[in-house]
């Protein structure tokens, strides 16, 4: 099985925290969409005939696609690849795009999972992040999507936004649970240098939250999610049973995927491919039948580290037998003392030859993974 990711690099405006590749100029959108369709044709053999079980429109803001553009891309995928009849087809959307009419278009096109970027229900926080929607639109779009027949909805929230206490975060979570969605992705506010918040922080105009404050909000998140029947199947992702994101789960399980569009990544087990993060360079190259991408060949150590990095963040854990038999790396032998210390501190456990992080360990997932990586 495999997946296809389509990067739609356009947004109405720049969010103050985002460093993904996108453009706020729509003048080149039609040409870019045509180029993405062309890239699919050029790379039709990348997945080597594997059945496609997930299709994911990410960005950027894929909900800016017109009905004709969305149909073009989906029909191109279906014409060129063996797509499962039960494929999960996800589209990321902003609340201000999801009118009842737009939702009907998406439903008719075959989108069966919506990923809605709410981020917060608190108006000052939405303004701080320069979101294009308000809290009322956040609530209404989810209800409209449910009324349109979407029964697999995920929303994004951001925590760790500076505030006097945790009451705003608690209210955001209370409002979230009232919407009765099936999946939630929650990310800590990260200050990237090449963003408005990054520049303000450097100039002293914005003070990020302390790590302890953000960690406390993460702990509140875990407690509240568990109390409301959500399973934390990955550090930042929570779902009702059976509603895990199949597409993202495949990333974490090492399933092969094709990424098309400017800045999109692909993975086939032995290498990663990175498309150029420039819309005009991308379309120019595609028009000549070339793929403007860098290819990174993965050594056995790279592959082992990839497996460790992705699996250790999930509920399924890192299978030590796979590390040993597939990648030739005996983790318990190489890091016996460190693994013992992790378990004694309540940060990890080893059960049936699988290494898991505890809730406390997930707070330190990046550092623990780094400490265990193959040199």
Q: How far apart are CA 167 and CA 121, in angstroms?
A: 12
Q: How far apart are CA 199 and CA 194, in angstroms?
A: 7
Please, which pLDDT band fits residue 375 given cuts at 50, 70 and 90? confident
- The count of other CB atoms within 10 Å of the CB of residue 137 is 19
Indicate whether 214 and 360 sit together in one domain: no
Q: Which domain holds residue 103?
A: 2-253
Domain with 367 in it: what CATH number?
1.10.10.920
**Residue 265: inside a domain, yes or no?**
no
Write the CB contacts of 257 (distance below 8 Å, at least 6 apart in sequence). 2, 3, 4, 5, 54, 250, 251, 266, 267
Indicate whether 245 and 309 sit together in one domain: no
Indicate whether 88 and 205 sit together in one domain: yes
Q: How far apart are CA 223 and CA 216, in angstroms?
A: 11
Q: How far apart are CA 226 and CA 118, in angstroms?
A: 21
Query: Which of 253, 277, 310 is the C-terminal boundary of a domain?
Result: 253
Q: How far apart are CA 28 and CA 198, in angstroms?
A: 28
Indicate whether 64 and 204 sit together in one domain: yes
For range 190-216, the mean pLDDT:
95
pLDDT digits (tens, 9 = 90+) for 134-173: 999 999 999 999 999 999 999 999 999 999 999 999 999 9
pLDDT digits (tens, 9 = 90+) for 187-198: 999 999 999 999
The pLDDT value recorded for residue 1 is 83
**Residue 207: inside a domain, yes or no?**
yes
Indicate whether 249 and 312 sit together in one domain: no
What pTM did the predictor assign? 0.95
User: Quick one: how far is CA 48 from the chain centroid?
Assistant: 25
Total of domains in the chain = 2
Burial of residue 289 (number of CB atoms within 10 Å: 0-12, 13-18, 19+): exposed
Indicate whether 171 and 25 sit together in one domain: yes
Domain with 127 in it: what CATH number?
3.20.20.70
């Amino acid at each position: 099985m495999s997946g296809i990711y389509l990067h739609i690099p356009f947004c109405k405006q720049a969010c103050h925290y985002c460093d993904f590749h996108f453009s706020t100029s729509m003048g080149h959108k039609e040409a870019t969409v045509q180029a993405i369709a062309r890239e699919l044709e050029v790379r039709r053999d990348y997945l080597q005939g594997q059945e496609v079980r997930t299709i994911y429109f990410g960005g950027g803001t894929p909900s800016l696609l017109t009905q004709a553009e969305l149909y073009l891309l989906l029909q191109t995928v279906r014409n060129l690849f063996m797509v499962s009849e039960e494929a999960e087809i996800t589209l990321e959307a902003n609340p201000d795009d999801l009118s009842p009419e737009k939702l009907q278009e998406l439903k008719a096109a075959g989108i069966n999972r919506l990923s809605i970027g709410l981020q917060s229900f608190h108006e000052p926080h939405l303004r701080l992040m320069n979101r294009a929607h308000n809290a009322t639109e956040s609530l209404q779009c989810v209800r409209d999507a449910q009324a349109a027949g979407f029964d697999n909805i995920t929303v994004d929230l951001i925590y760790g936004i500076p505030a006097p206490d945790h009451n705003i975060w608690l209210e955001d979570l209370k409002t979230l649970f009232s919407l009765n969605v099936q999946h939630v992705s929650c990310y800590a506010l990260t200050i990237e240098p090449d963003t408005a918040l990054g520049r303000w922080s450097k100039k002293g105009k914005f003070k990020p939250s302390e790590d302890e404050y953000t960690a406390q909000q993460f702990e509140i998140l875990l407690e509240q999610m568990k109390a409301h029947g959500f399973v934390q199947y990955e550090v930042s992702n929570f779902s009702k049973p059976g509603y895990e994101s199949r597409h993202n789960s495949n990333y974490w399980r090492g399933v092969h995927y094709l990424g098309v569009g400017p800045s999109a990544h692909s993975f086939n087990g032995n290498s990663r491919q990175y498309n150029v993060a420039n819309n005009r360079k991308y379309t120019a190259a595609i028009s000549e039948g070339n793929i403007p991408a860098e290819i990174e060949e993965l050594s056995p150590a790279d592959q082992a580290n990839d497996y460790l990095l992705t699996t250790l963040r999930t509920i399924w854990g890192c299978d030590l037998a796979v590390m040993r038999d597939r990648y030739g790396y005996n983790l318990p032998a190489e890091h016996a003392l460190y693994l013992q210390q992790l378990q004694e501190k309540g940060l990890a456990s080893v059960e049936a030859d699988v290494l898991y992080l505890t809730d406390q360990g997930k707070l330190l997932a990046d550092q623990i993974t780094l400490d265990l990586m193959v040199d």
